[in-house]
Structure 1
Amino acid sequence: MTIEGQYRTRYDKVLFPIANKLEEFLKDILSDQPRIDRISTRPKSIARFMGKATTLTSAGIPKYEDPIHQIQDQIGARIITFYKDDVERISDEVQRYFHAIESKNMLPENDWEFGYFGNHHVLLFPVDLIDPGFDQGLVPFCFELQIKTLFQHAWSEANHDLGYKPGQQPLESDELRQLAFTSAQAWGADRVFNELFQKRHAN
């Protein structure tokens, strides 16, 4: 069976019910946490999975030898918060319930650049979220969780739509600088709102 056929079977049979259970679980464990705008989960679409599975390195060789088992975000979860300080608090709370394979803050490559910001985790699924009736060979062992502020989320969604969809005309250098400029504005807005929040709630 082709890679696409394998993923389509997994997508059709197990990814949606697992994603739905995961969303319910996250909402339950975070129900008492303030300033969460939304919690959502979704399987990676077949088109996006195949786009990632066929990625080549700079040397022109496939990035993934075994995409079905190597691609870790076949189910993605997002938690969107109000302020920057909320991100770390919620990240700490989530890690009380999941075993983390990887946790990191995503930042531009150097301090003079603006681009994507976000808090990312690759987490193992708790056993009780997996229906024992599922074919275990179809069940991914982990999922990706992103925790972002409202401004980080809005910027990353628009940036992905403008800059990364296949088949679109590539952005020119000046247009890429415009995207970086909007990232800087979102970064500044996050700082201002967070500082105002801290000031208003200072003892």
Structure 2
Amino acid sequence: MFVVPLPLPPFSRIEKLYMPRIRRYERALVRMHKELENLFAEQDLKVTIKYRVKSLKNLYDKLCRRLSSLPAGTRHIIPTDLMGMRIVCPFLSDIDTAARLIETKFSVTEKEQKGADLGFKEFGYESLHFLIRCPDTIRDKEKLSPDTVIEIQVRTLLQDAWAEVEHRLIYKSEFSPLDEPLKRRLAALNANLTLSDIMFQEIRDYQETLHDQLRQRRHAFWNKLNVLEDSPFSMEEEEKSDRQEGPVPRNNDERLLEALLAHNEGDLERAVEIYSVILENELRRDLRSIVYVHRGMAYFTKDDLAAAERDFSQSIGEDPENSKGYLYLGLVKAVQQEYRAAFDNFDQALIHDPFSQDALLERAKLFHKIGDIVSCSSDCRRILDINPGNKKAQELLEQV
């Protein structure tokens, strides 16, 4: 603990007290940085971690400013932000994740949401502040006091940008009564940054929902393919969803998400309906190609192989470089036992995406089916060169 006696000693005295400690603080923060890095990496949380030991000049300036606010009879000051760390997150939701990890891993002595009490006409940065006890391993290594604390701030990129600017424009200056227009401009800027944070989070939430639906839809497609390959003449009917049909959403982003939701819930008629509405609109050809792939997958799951084949072919027509169109058209041809056409499409898929594990695996399975063990083994080994953990390729290679 660094205790400053009152009345405040001269700068030279503070220097003698403080400077011998700085190197130990710096080494402690380097160790703490590594601990936080490992903690966040385990949760795949992408953040930027900054750290600093308070400079002697900044410390003395802060002590001078605090003197006027101290109650009568105070005998000493204990600075708590000598060691500071800042965790800068891309999105608002990352702040909650980082905070949960900090509270789980470290001994928190204080937690404060800065800026939470500001009115809508006020300006100031929002930031989550923690005071934590310096971990025992670090404290003992650097011979620090048992009461040593580290301040950790958690904020978004935009909150961090605002804090940097605010520190220079506001914290280190005095406003006069004539500065009201400037205050309003700063308040408007802060509001824009706050709104931008919210919008970035909404975009991220939408993308994550969309990607989750895409993963589910893809999983359902491959499950259906297994059924078709096992028993091409005895199709299992998809389970229908109880979700109420409603009006088709107005914009294409909403339509695509609604179509994927219906698709994943087994409401294939609704999915096809919405995909068809999207295709009636003006779209770039590469986007039309993607939607045709989605609708073709829905038709495939409905057991309408002729419609699925048309859509996958149309997808290639809209975008001849769409490897997924060739892959799925090859799958339809393989199910229909048109093996030469299936091989041609798998080959085309690999021309446009040489690292497609799906195309390599389906071609390998087809080689295995026709008895070409050498080519089957070769494709399996190519997959395992790309991804040694591909279990399906490993199992097929063991079979042959």
Same fold by TM-score greater than 0.5: yes
| Alignment of 1:119 onto 2:122 | no
Q: Which moved further from structure 2: 30-39 or 140-149? A: 30-39
Change (3 A) 1:93 1:133: closer
Q: Secondary structure at the match of 1:31?
A: helix
Q: Deviations over 1:114-143 (max 9, x none)?
A: 321011100001110125463x45x86101
Query: 2-side partners of 1:169 and 1:52: how far apart?
Result: 15
The CA deviation string for residues 95-127 of structure 1, in whole angstroms up to 9 with x for no partner, is 111100011211253432332101110000111
Q: In the alignment, what sits opposite 1:33? A: 43
TM-score normalized with structure 2 length: 0.45
Cα 1:163/1:140, change in 2 over 3 Å: farther
2:105 match: secondary structure: coil
* Offset at residue 174 of structure 1 (A): 2.1
CA RMSD of aligned residues (A): 2.6
- Matched with 1:89 is 97
2:201 to 178, 194, 199: 194
Does the 8 Å contact 1:108/1:116 carry over to 2? no
Deviation at 1:89, TM superposition (A): 0.9
1:140/1:4 Cα in 2 relative to 1: closer, same or farther (>3 Å)?
Answer: farther
1:74–1:140: 8 Å Cα contact kept in structure 2? no
Which deviations, in whole Å up to 9, do the C-alpha atoms of 1:154-176 show, x marking residues without a partner? Answer: 111111122223xx575723222
> Relative to 1, partners in 2 of residues 1:133 and 1:186: Cα closer, same or farther, differing over 3 Å?
closer
- The 1:169–1:111 alpha-carbon spacing in structure 2 relative to 1, beyond 3 Å, is closer
In structure 2, C-alpha distance between the alignment counterparts of 1:61 and 1:146, rounded to whole Å: 27
User: Is the CA contact 1:118–1:146 (under 8 Å) kept in the aligned structure 2?
Assistant: yes
Say if 1:102 and 1:123, in contact at 8 Å, map to a contact too: yes
Contact 2:131 2:151 in 1 (8 A): yes
- Residue of structure 1 in register with 2:149 after alignment: 142
Q: Is the 8 A contact 1:22 1:41 kept in 2?
A: no
Quote the Cα distance in structure 2 between the aligned partners of 1:36 and 1:72.
28
- Gap regions ≥5 residues in structure 1: none
Task: Work out which of the residue numbers 74, 87, 90 in structure 2 matches 1:79.
Answer: 87
Shift, 1:149, TM fit: 0.4
1:157 counterpart residue number = 164
1:54 counterpart residue number:
64
User: Partners of 1:45 and 1:151 in 2: how far apart?
Assistant: 25
Give runs of ≥4 in structure 1 deviating > 4 Å. Answer: 57-62, 168-171
Partner of 1:183: 190
1:105 corresponds to which of 113, 118, 133: 113
Q: What SS is found at the alignment partner of 2:119?
A: coil
How far apart, in 1, do the equivalents of 2:63 and 2:174 lie? 22
SS, match of residue 144 in structure 1: strand
1:108–1:115 CA contact under 8 A, matched in 2 = no
Inter-partner Cα distance in structure 1 for 2:175 and 2:19 = 29
Query: 1:18 and 1:118 mapped to 2: Cα distance?
Result: 23
1:53-81, Cα deviation, whole Å (9 max, x unpaired):
1224666868x7433xx211100001111
Partner of residue 240, structure 2: none
Partner Cα distance (1:95, 1:59) in 2 = 31
* Alignment of 1:5 onto 2:5: no
Paired letter, 2:113 = N
Cα distance change of structure 1 residues 124 and 56 upon mapping to structure 2, 3 Å threshold: closer
CA distance in 2, matches of 1:128, 1:179: 44
Q: CA deviation at 1:33?
A: 3.4
Judging by fraction of residues, say which structure has more strand.
1
Q: Partner amino acid for 1:82?
A: P
